[in-house]
Amino acid sequence: MVGSAIVRKLRADGYENIVTRTSKELDLRDQRAVNEFFAAERPEYVFLAAAKVGGIMANNVYRGQFLYDNLMIEANIIEAARVNEVTKLQFLGSSCIYPKLAPQPLTEDALLTGPLEPTNEPYAIAKITGIKLCDAYRAQYGCDYISVMPTNLYGPNDNYNLETSHVLPALIRKFHEAKKAGTEEVVMWGTGSPKREFLHADDLAAACVFLMHNFSDYGFVNVGTGEDLSIFSLAETIKDVVGYEGQITKDTSKPDGTPRKLMNVDKLHAMGWKHSIELREGIERVYASLGSADWY
């Protein structure tokens, strides 16, 4: 989702010499394969958007896999970029790097100030390591490597697998299938009280290209909208967009996760960038484009 959005943005801005690989074409966990790719292609700028990702259940169940795969992906690419003298690299992390009970909204200096949310701790640790690798390579080797921390994302090419998806696409699929089947209720995980922030992938892509041009420093930059809503309010919005007329039932036996994850985006706003796609508009765009989805 993120990689394709960045490619769309680069092409829209007139960039033509774009090198990409799918996970089937190049296993980024394979150090030799990654080294051979960099040696052959010699990229000048790298957007490191690849990751093993999933929702709250996948993060909690596949803990070893999420930690190992993400550590290998980022370490292999960052080292290969150094060896092959990449001009600039941008590492994309996640808002889950922040402590579970960090003050809201989350400011960049809250990193490593408290315990992480247990359900996604392995993924968060891998992403924190990526930030620190970029900082360490900047300090030791003078590499211009930067880090960007997006909030929760959605958009074209999202994952709608109910076992591994994040909350927004999962709810879109649940409401759509319930509408088609005439089901009287849709079951939502948890209490619905946790609050989340959502950013359209096209807005993230615009921010990533902006930061590649305008940010070169240690640390990282939060990328989000600076606005959040409860999961239950999100469900009600999606229900309305889909046109589902049944009930929303809460399954409180399922975990809520972190109570709130609102990003402070003052640093990004001060640089001159702000999101342009509001949440309801973004959900409407996504839902309208799903006619070709294999499950739709």
Known binding positions for NADP(+): 92-95, 127, 150-153, 166
The CA distance from 135 to 129, in Å, is 10
The CA distance from 223 to 6, in Å, is 14
Whether residue 123 lies in the annotated active site: yes
According to DSSP, the residues that pair with 46 across neighbouring strands are: 89
Q: Are 149 and 222 in contact (CB under 8 A)?
A: yes
Residue 94 phi, psi dihedral angles, 5° rounding: -160, 155
Q: Are 89 and 143 in contact (CB under 8 A)?
A: yes
Nearest to 108 by CA among 116, 124, 97, 123: 97
The CA distance from 283 to 18, in Å, is 29
Q: Are 43 and 88 in contact (CB under 8 A)?
A: no
Annotated binding site for substrate: 174, 189, 196, 256
- From 45, 68, 98, 123, the catalytic residue: 123
The CA distance from 98 to 79, in Å, is 25
Sequence-distant (6+) residues with CB within 8 A of 256 are 190, 191, 193, 194
CB atoms within 10 A of CB 51: 22
Strand order, beta sheet including 220-223: 45-48, 88-92, 145-150, 220-223
- Catalytic site positions: 123
